[in-house]
Chains A and B, each alone.
Chain A
Amino acid sequence: EAQVTQNPRYLITVTGKKLTVTCSQNMNHEYMSWYRQDPGLGLRQIYYSMNVEVTDKGDVPEGYKVSRKEKRNFPLILESPSPNQTSLYFCASSPRGGVHSYEQYFGPGTRLTVT
């Protein structure tokens, strides 16, 4: 089954404790991205990757890191989480080709709480 998976789905942690949220897709998509969703603010892009070893900052990259060593995986790293990073996080992938953009397939989401 074609899908985007995220782990963990729920996480409660404390300020300053490093964490990683994994994202994996099995559709051979070039493009992957991370969003955070907060009430009234919609979906805001954190980082995106056009292909392996290529990553770019989105609108809200502060406090986050990403890596794209393999095409299928795009982990989100919070080196020192803070309470303002409490949010719902979505990973997404897309079969972007050339100059055209296509549908983004979202993962199920990760609910993160930082106390």
Chain B
Amino acid sequence: GENVEQHPSTLSVQEGDSAVIKCTYSDSASNYFPWYKQELGKRPQLIIDIRSNVGEKKDQRIAVTLNKTAKHFSLHITETQPEDSAVYFCGEEGSARQLTFGSGTQLTVLP
């Protein structure tokens, strides 16, 4: 699969602040970019996704932005809450139609 780089690997924010996680990819033909949340001891679950024909998508406190020119996409979480603490994975599906995940970001929301 294509390489997806995810940053940062760990992120701590105060409750109520915003959190931003960024991923970069290399395949210009990539067309699908999901974000998954994995709580401790649980399975990954989709929280939001975006396709290449859209620049931004929002769902309540969560948003994803896509910059196709720069080949990067970001997850934005506003008004963070303790239950947002988890590992977040970005994903990218390229021309080979294979989904590749980033290495994950451990988000900790401090009370």
Contacts and interface: CB of A to CB of B under 8 A. Distances in A.
Say if A and B assemble together: yes
A101 B96 CA distance: 12
Interface in A42-59: 42-45, 48, 50, 56, 58-59
The winner among B34, B102, B103 for most chain A CB atoms within 10 A is: B103
A45 B1 contact: yes
Interface in A98-115: 100-101, 103-104, 106-109
Chain A interface helix/strand/loop/mixed: strand
A41 interface: yes
B54 interface: no
A90 interface: yes
A24 interface: no
A45 B43 contact: no
Interface string B1-42: 100001001000000000000000000000110100000000
Contact of A101 (B9, B43, B99): B99
Contacts of B89: 42-43
Secondary structure of the B contact surface, majority rule: strand
Contact of B104 (A42, A48, A100, A107): A42
Interface stretch (B44-52, B66-74, B76-84): B44-52
Nearest to B51: A100
A101 B93 contact: yes
Interface residues of B, number: 22
Nearest to A4: B43
Contacts of B101: 35, 42-45
A58 B9 CA distance: 23
A43 B6 CA distance: 12
Contacts of A33: 99
B43 A58 contact: no
Interface of A: 33, 35, 40-45, 48, 50, 56, 58-59, 90, 100-101, 103-104, 106-109
21 contacts: A33-B99, A35-B101, A40-B103, A42-B89, A42-B104, A43-B44, A43-B101, A43-B104, A44-B101, A45-B1, A45-B101, A48-B99, A100-B32, A101-B31, A101-B93, A101-B97, A103-B34, A103-B46, A104-B99, A106-B43, A107-B43
